[in-house]
């Protein structure tokens, strides 16, 4: 249902429109249908400004008696309780008009007048006053053609409340009447589509809400309660708070309650009990003084303490609340207040106010003020003539203490002062228009004598207010934006209860609006009085801030400010924030999850035990190679060294030394050059090694075949030059493979984070898997070929046991590398390098021990066996294979120590078998292999040194 004030308003509008409609044919003159009886004050002028102020409170008979009386177009109202501050507001406008008239630079040759009305704090009276301002005060006036002429007023300063401003702007917007409010803050009034002629010098609630949020964020208050009035002022604030608070992330509303207009005690009791049980220690109140008075009565009754009150501009400086009863609860209140200013000369003007003797109307504002201040009557009533003092008009205002003359806290007055100047500057800018450059039709300008409202507020002339830019005597810049709002600025006030019992409202900062920087908050925290034992700002949060290393997990069904703290997962950190953040790729979270630490780097290092063991083994293998090489060089003329193809043996030892040394490239932090060199050195070294073994195997097989009849022709392909060329060719192929691999897709160092999330594994990526496979495959091919040839030649005579050693060494080599492939693939990080190094060392040691171990054993430990006689005799015995008859002859000669061989029982075949089966031109090669092809006797295929052993 509609409340009585709204019902009064709707019925009044119906009455007004039905009684003031005009016919299409205008008479030569117009008569007022109704003249409202209002408290007023006027001053004539060329151009008149209107003003609406609250000089009284109202008592609406329709609201008191549940009906409306309208007879002869009269609606009954009763204005009671004179408001002396409202009268000071009206006088401030009068002073501003007088000051502008004295300014030769502003509106020259134009005299401003004013018409001031009292709205009695009621919507219907305020609307009646606004209609009077728009339609004029004269009983009868003559209209020019098309109703042209100077309007009664060109602009209105007012209203006080947002609801009143909305109603009046809706009606006077039809008249294109500009309204500049000094006290209406509803953000809805910034809608220029709905209120195209509304401007204001007080910031809108949208800015006030943002200023409040700034204060909340400054003190870390994220859990607050909000109390509002049930009108446009409070409802729009609640809407702005709910959207802006969530958008800014400044906090949450613990509760949102609407304060009752009628002072419902049950509702107030419920609200206070809710405040008492809530964990929110901060309460914001966007309501009027009457709401706070009713609320605080219940707060005192329930003794609700320990709250931090945040006041809106409507009651942040209300002296009616600063009483000894309420101050124990309200002291320490922080509030947003209208900007305080200074108006030079206002005191002198107020002291000159005096009732005119010719104007004795009861509706005269000055007369009412005089009667209120001096408690007298100009026309005492007959009934109370004896008790009422008669006003003479000669009373001295200086002899009376009144807050009317207290100009230490000019806030609404300062906005009124700026509003009057804004209208004056807009009019001045329009009248200063140059002909031919005006905003009207055909670029014409306005004329003071034919000034019309539609000209002033034609759509493209609305920019007149937007270009206003002036500075007040207090130093504040005044300008308007496209929404009709002035540059916002608020003072921040703190209620302090002094030790002597007095109350003082202290300015502790301000908040300013800026198009570029947004809201700028300035607080002097050391000046703020806190109504708590700790003398510090209270804590008002739903959940305490999560400690470092945790994140917020919202509680189901609760506002976002209510949450649990959950530890961050591995690899993420938080530093008292709502979220966990991922550490950079080279960093990992600390155990406490509060900061990122550099990840441990893992690679096969020289300093760790595994690296030390492998390095020691590599150096040991290299040292053994050097020692064996030195032994072989020292005993190079002995049969053991010469019988094993010493040149290939030396080359094989050098290649094995390179194999041992190349394993060191796999140890240490990978770098580009080590990654490129390690596999190339490994591949070439092992191919050189296996090539030497392959050539030795082929030569051994070839020599054995050449020792048989008809086999000597094959030895021409296995001379010293051919052996060197074969080794060089096979090694060059591997070098070419490595070159193509490095050029096309070179191995490179890589930081691998896939194996361990908290570690960085430095490794060498092979680049081209195909290149790596070809390199290993080529080594394997040569090793397999050597193994097969050696295996086929494993049953050669004992003197050729080199084939057996090669077979055994190749078996070890192939076994190691066959086992290496799966182990390498399944080993992560540094262990892959360790597996490869181990394979290199194992295969190298296998080759070294298998090929050179037995030889070193004979050379160093059994030197008696390292003689040509022993080796040649054993070779002669097994290579020539004499018949039984020949063998008997040889044994006979041996017994008789005769150098000759008997032909008895030998026959021609036996003699043929004793002849050397190889050409004499290959004697040097055989001699190098330990086979002497010289024959000094008819029956001995070798030198005569074999006579004693044969």
Handedness of CA 839, 841, 844, 849 (dihedral sign): negative
Phi, psi of 575 (to 5 degrees): -125, 75
C-alpha dist (Å) from residue 624 to 627, 634, 806, 848, 849: 5, 15, 19, 9, 10
Which helix (H) or strand (E) element contains residue 796? none
Q: What are the tokens at 638?
A: 């002995």
DSSP annotation of 725 reads H
Q: Which of 842, 826, 850, 853 is nearest to 613 (CA)?
A: 842
State the Cα–Cα distance between residues 268 and 251, nearest whole angstrom.
Answer: 25
Instruction: Look at residue 399 in the predicted model and tell me its pLDDT.
Output: 82
Mean pLDDT of the chain: 78
Instruction: Look at residue 930 in the predicted model and tell me its pLDDT.
Output: 44
Q: Which of 826, 840, 764, 839 is nearest to 603 (CA)?
A: 764
How many residues appear in the chain?
950
Q: What angle in degrees, to the nearest 10, is found between the helix axes of 232-248 and 162-172?
A: 110
Q: Which of 30, 29, 31, 49 is nearest to 41 (CA)?
A: 49
In which region does residue 907 sit, left (phi positive, over 0), alpha (psi from -120 to 50) or beta (all else)? left
Which helix (H) or strand (E) element contains residue 596? strand 596-598
Q: Which of 294, 271, 293 is nearest to 283 (CA)?
A: 271
Instruction: Look at residue 907 in the predicted model and tell me its pLDDT.
Output: 35
Largest separation between any pair of C-alpha atoms in the chain = 190
* Locus of tokens 């910034």: 190
Please work out, in degrees rounded to the nearest 5, the angle formed at the alpha carbon of residue 854 by the alpha carbons of 848 and 860. Answer: 105
For the segment 783-813, what is each residue's pLDDT rounded down to a tens digit?
A: 888 888 878 776 665 444 677 788 888 888 8
Helical segments of 318-459, H only: 327-330, 346-351, 365-374, 412-431, 453-456
State the Cα–Cα distance between residues 596 and 31, nearest whole angstrom.
Answer: 85
262 Cβ neighbours under 8 A, 6+ residues apart: none
Instruction: Look at residue 117 in the predicted model and tell me its pLDDT.
Output: 93
Bridge partners for 115 per DSSP: 42, 50
Quick count: other Cβ atoms within 10 Å of Cβ 137? 15
Instruction: Look at residue 767 in the predicted model and tell me its pLDDT.
Output: 83
Instruction: Look at residue 467 in the predicted model and tell me its pLDDT.
Output: 61
Instruction: Look at residue 386 in the predicted model and tell me its pLDDT.
Output: 57
State the Cα–Cα distance between residues 917 and 929, nearest whole angstrom.
Answer: 16
Q: Which residue positions in the chain have pLDDT lower than 50?
A: 1-27, 60-76, 140-149, 384, 454, 457-461, 798-800, 870-950
944 Cβ neighbours under 8 A, 6+ residues apart: 899, 936, 937
Long-range contacts made by residues 274-277, C-beta under 8 angstroms, separation at least 24?
A: 275/225, 275/304, 275/307, 276/302, 276/304
State the Cα–Cα distance between residues 507 and 503, nearest whole angstrom.
Answer: 13
* Locus of tokens 């053991």: 640
Helical segments of 50-204, H only: 61-65, 84-101, 123-135, 162-172
Q: Which of 414, 376, 381, 380 is nearest to 397 (CA)?
A: 376
How would you class 593 by CB atoms within 10 Å of its CB: exposed for 0-12, middle for 13-18, buried for 19 or more? buried
CA dihedral 923, 925, 927, 933 (to 10 degrees): -30
Encode 463-497 in three state secondary structure. HHHHCCEEECCCCCEEEECCCCEECCEEEEEEEEE
Instruction: Look at residue 35 in the predicted model and tell me its pLDDT.
Output: 62
Encode 829-879 in three state secondary structure. CHHHHHHHHHHHHHHHHHHHHHHHHHHHHHHHHCHHHCCHHHHHHHHHHHH
Instruction: Look at residue 761 in the predicted model and tell me its pLDDT.
Output: 84
Instruction: Look at residue 153 in the predicted model and tell me its pLDDT.
Output: 85
State the Cα–Cα distance between residues 613 and 624, nearest whole angstrom.
Answer: 16
DSSP annotation of 410 reads B
What does the DSSP assignment read for 232-283? HHHHHHHHHHHHHHHHHT--EEEEEEEEPSS--HHHHHHHHHHHHHSS--EE
């Amino acid at each position: 249902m509609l409340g009585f004030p709204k019902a009064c308003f709707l019925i009044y509008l119906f009455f007004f429109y039905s009684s003031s409609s005009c016919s299409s044919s205008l008479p030569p003159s117009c008569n007022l249908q109704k003249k409202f009886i209002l408290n007023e004050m006027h001053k004539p002028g060329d151009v008149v400004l209107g003003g609406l102020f609250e000089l009284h409170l109202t008592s609406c008979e329709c609201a008191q008696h549940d009906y409306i009386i309208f007879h002869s177009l009269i609606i009954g109202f009763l204005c009671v309780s004179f408001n002396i501050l409202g009268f000071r507001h009206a006088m401030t406008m009068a002073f501003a008009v007088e000051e502008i008239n004295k300014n030769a630079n502003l509106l020259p040759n134009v005299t401003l007048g004013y018409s001031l009305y009292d709205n009695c704090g009621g919507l219907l009276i305020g609307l009646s006053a606004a209609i009077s301002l728009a339609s004029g005060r004269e009983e009868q006036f003559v209209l020019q053609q098309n109703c042209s002429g100077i309007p009664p007023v060109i602009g209105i300063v007012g209203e006080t409340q947002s609801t009143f401003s909305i109603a009046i702007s809706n009606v006077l917007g039809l008249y294109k009447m500009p309204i500049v409010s000094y006290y209406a803050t509803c953000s809805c009034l910034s809608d220029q589509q709905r209120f195209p002629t509304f401007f204001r010098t007080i910031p809108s609630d949208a800015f006030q809400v943002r200023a409040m949020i700034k204060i909340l964020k400054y003190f870390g208050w994220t859990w607050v309660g909000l109390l509002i009035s049930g009108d446009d002022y409070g409802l729009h604030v609640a809407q702005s708070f709910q959207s802006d608070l969530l958008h800014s992330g400044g906090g949450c509303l613990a509760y949102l309650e609407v304060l009752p207009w009628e002072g419902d005690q049950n509702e107030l009791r419920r609200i206070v009990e809710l405040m008492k049980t809530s964990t929110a220690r901060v309460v914001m109140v966007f309501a009027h003084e009457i709401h706070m008075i009713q609320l605080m009565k219940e707060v005192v009754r329930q003794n609700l303490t320990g709250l931090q009150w945040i006041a809106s501009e409507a009651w942040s400086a209300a002296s009616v609340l600063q009483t000894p009863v309420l101050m124990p609860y309200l002291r320490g209140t922080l509030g947003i207040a209208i900007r305080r200013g200074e108006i030079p000369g206002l005191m002198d003007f107020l002291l000159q106010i005096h009732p005119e003797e010719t104007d004795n109307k009861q509706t005269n504002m000055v007369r009412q003020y005089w009667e209120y201040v001096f408690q007298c009557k100009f026309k005492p009533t007959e009934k109370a003539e004896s008790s009422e003092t008669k006003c003479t008009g000669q009373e001295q205002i200086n002899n009376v203490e009144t807050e009317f003359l207290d100009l230490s806290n000019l806030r609404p007055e300062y906005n009124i002062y700026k509003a009057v100047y804004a209208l004056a500057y807009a009019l001045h800018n329009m009248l200063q228009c140059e002909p031919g450059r005006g905003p009207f039709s055909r670029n014409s300008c306005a004329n003071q004598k034919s000034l019309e409202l539609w000209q002033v507020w034609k759509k493209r002339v609305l920019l007149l207010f937007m270009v206003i830019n002036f500075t007040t005597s207090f130093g504040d810049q005044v300008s308007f934006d496209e929404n009709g709002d002035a540059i916002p600025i608020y003072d921040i006030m703190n209620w302090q209860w002094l030790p002597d019992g007095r109350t003082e409202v202290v300015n502790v900062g301000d908040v300013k609006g800026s198009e570029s920087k947004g809201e700028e908050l300035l607080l002097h925290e050391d000046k703020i009085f806190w109504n708590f034992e700790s003398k510090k700002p209270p804590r008002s949060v739903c959940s305490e801030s999560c400690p470092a290393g945790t994140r917020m997990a919202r509680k189901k069904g609760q506002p976002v400010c209510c949450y649990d703290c959950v530890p961050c997962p591995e690899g993420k950190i938080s530093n008292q924030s709502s979220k966990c953040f991922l550490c950079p790729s080279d960093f990992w979270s600390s155990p406490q999850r509060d900061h990122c630490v550099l990840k441990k780097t893992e690679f096969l290092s020289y300093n760790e035990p595994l690296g030390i063991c492998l390095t020691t083994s590599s150096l040991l293998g290299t040292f053994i190679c050097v020692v064996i090489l030195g032994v072989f060089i020292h005993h190079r003329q002995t049969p053991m060294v010469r019988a094993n193809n010493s040149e290939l043996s030396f080359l094989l030892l050098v290649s094995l030394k390179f194999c041992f040394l190349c394993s060191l490239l796999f140890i240490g932090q990978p770098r580009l050059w080590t990654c490129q060199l390690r596999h190339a050195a490994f591949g070439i070294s092992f191919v050189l090694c296996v090539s030497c073994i392959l050539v030795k195997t082929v030569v051994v097989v070839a020599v054995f075949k050449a020792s048989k009849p008809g086999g000597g022709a094959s030895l021409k392909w296995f001379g010293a030059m051919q052996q060197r060329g074969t080794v060089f060719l096979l090694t060059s192929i591997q070098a070419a493979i490595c070159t193509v691999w490095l050029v096309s897709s070179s191995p490179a160092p890589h930081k691998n984070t896939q194996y361990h999330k908290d570690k960085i594994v430095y490794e060498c990526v092979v680049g081209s898997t195909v290149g790596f496979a070809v390199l290993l495959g080529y080594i394997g091919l040569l090793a397999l070929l050597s193994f097969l040839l050696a295996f086929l030649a494993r049953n050669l005579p004992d003197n050729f046991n080199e084939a057996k050693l090669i077979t055994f060494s190749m078996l070890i080599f192939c076994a190691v590398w066959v086992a290496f492939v799966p182990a390498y693939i399944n080993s992560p990080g540094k262990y892959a390098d360790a597996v490869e190094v181990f394979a290199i060392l194992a295969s190298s040691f296998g080759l070294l021990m298998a090929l050179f171990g037995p030889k070193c054993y004979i050379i160093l430990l059994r030197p008696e066996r390292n003689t040509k006689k022993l080796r040649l005799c054993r070779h002669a015995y097994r290579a020539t294979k004499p018949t039984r008859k020949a063998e008997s002859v040889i044994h006979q000669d041996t017994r008789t120590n005769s150098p000759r061989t008997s032909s008895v029982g030998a026959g021609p075949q036996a003699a043929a078998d004793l002849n050397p089966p190889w050409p004499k031109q290959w004697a040097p090669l055989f001699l190098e292999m330990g086979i002497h092809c010289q024959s000094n006797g008819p029956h001995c295929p070798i030198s005569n040194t074999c006579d004693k052993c044969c």
